[in-house]
């Protein structure tokens, strides 16, 4: 097991349904039914958001790479927020949201639904593409350059789509529901992970398998590539945090977030990960509301 975290703080003692991280912010979907946007350093609660009168909880959240916008989703509604002043910019109804990703500029959302994923313009309120699936879409991702959409479903099928024209480029089959998917910033590598399976890295230029990482009987709940594309961080349902070298597929660090006995849950899933400070640091958030900072 690797070194302990450099810093560990409690953000949400009530626990979390969801979380998103950027280098400067943590967006939490608390079990109390609201979203909280925190500045990480120094620790400060900036906004408390709730976009309907219901108390179903924020089940998905995302922060744009440029940190200007954020989105939150309840089961059947999606909200778009401006981070600078916390203003609600729009709310839309969707049937049974199961996955969510936000474009780098924060102006488009990729939303996983029961039989498709839609690429949706938050600025205009219009659907640009509907990416069809034969099952519930459980994981979605966008690359930072706006080239590709990656979607995965409960039957273990993952598809890579070209955003220029909505064309499906490649399809990959897995044994088990896709629990996590992400793309590196330049869109050259796609990562997919089936529940209780191994992590797969794919080349988006030809669709070929680049590496298979880890062991079976493991489920990844969160994943993020470093900005330089060299590293991949994966957070597990079991609570572990792993850092991989993307080029070789080598495991570089295996980390275990600390569990504070005063927090409600004795163990917790990793819900979000993010690299910061030119990829020298890594932040993680667990479902018991703990934020931890690691030296990469």
| pLDDT band at residue 257 using 50, 70 and 90 as cut-offs | confident
> How much of the chain exceeds pLDDT 90, in percent?
83
The arithmetic mean of pLDDT across residues 46-59, rounded, is 81
Kindly write down the DSSP assignment for every residue of the chain, as one continuous string.
--PPPSEEEES-TT-EEEEEE-SSEEEEEETTS-EEEEETTTTEEEEEE--SS--S---EEEE-TTSSEEEEEETTEEEEEETTT--EEEEEE-SS--EEEE-TTSSEEEEE-SSEEEEEETTT--EEEEEE-SS-EEEEEE-TTS-EEEEEETTSEEEEEETTT--EEEEEE-SS-EEEEEE-TTSSEEEEEETTS-EEEEETTT--EEEEES-SS--EEEEEE-TTSSEEEEEETTS-EEEEETTT--EEEEE-----TTSS-SS--EEEEEEETTTTEEEEEETTSEEEEEE-
Q: What is the pLDDT of residues 65-91, one digit of tens each?
A: 999 999 999 999 999 999 999 999 999
Q: Using alpha carbons only, what angle is made at residue 156 by residues 179 and 118, rounded to the nearest 5 degrees?
A: 75
pLDDT given for residue 263 in this prediction: 45
Kindly calculate the radius of gyration of the chain based on its CA atoms and give it in whole angstroms: 17
Classify strands 44-49 and 127-132 as parallel, antiparallel or unpaired. Answer: unpaired
Bigger pLDDT: 248 vs 57: 248
Q: What is the pLDDT of residues 174-212, one digit of tens each?
A: 999 999 999 999 999 999 999 999 999 999 999 999 999
Distance CA 252, CA 233 (A): 10
**Is residue 129 over pLDDT 70?**
yes
The arithmetic mean of pLDDT across residues 118-146, rounded, is 97
**Is residue 261 over pLDDT 70?**
no
Over the chain, what is the mean pLDDT? 93
């Amino acid at each position: 097991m690797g070194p302990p975290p450099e810093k560990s703080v409690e953000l949400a003692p009530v626990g979390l349904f969801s979380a998103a991280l950027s280098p400067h912010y943590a967006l939490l979907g608390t079990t109390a039914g609201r979203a909280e946007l925190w500045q990480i350093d120094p620790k400060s609660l900036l906004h408390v958001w709730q976009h309907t009168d219901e108390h179903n909880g924020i089940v998905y959240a995302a922060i744009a790479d440029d940190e200007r916008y954020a989105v939150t989703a309840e089961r059947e509604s999606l909200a778009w927020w401006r981070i600078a002043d916390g203003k609600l910019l729009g709310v839309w109804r969707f049937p049974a949201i199961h996955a969510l990703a936000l474009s780098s500029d924060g102006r488009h959302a990729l939303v996983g639904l029961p039989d498709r994923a839609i690429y949706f313009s938050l600025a205009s309120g219009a659907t640009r593409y509907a990416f069809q699936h034969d099952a519930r879409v459980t994981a979605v991702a966008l690359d930072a350059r706006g080239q590709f959409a990656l979607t995965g479903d409960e039957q273990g099928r993952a598809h890579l789509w070209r955003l220029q024209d909505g064309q499906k480029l490649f399809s990959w089959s897995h044994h088990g529901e896709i629990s996590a998917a992400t793309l590196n910033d330049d869109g050259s590598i796609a990562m997919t992970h089936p529940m209780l399976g191994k992590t797969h890295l794919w080349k988006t230029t030809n669709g070929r398998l680049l590496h298979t990482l880890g062991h079976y009987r493991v489920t990844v709940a969160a994943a993020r590539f470093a900005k330089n594309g060299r590293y991949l961080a994966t957070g597990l349902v079991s609570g572990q945090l792993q850092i991989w070298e993307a080029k070789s597929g080598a495991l570089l660090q295996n980390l275990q977030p600390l569990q504070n006995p005063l927090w409600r849950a004795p163990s917790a899933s990793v819900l979000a990960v993010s690299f910061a400070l030119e990829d020298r640091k890594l932040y993680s958030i667990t479902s018991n509301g703990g934020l931890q900072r690691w030296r990469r």
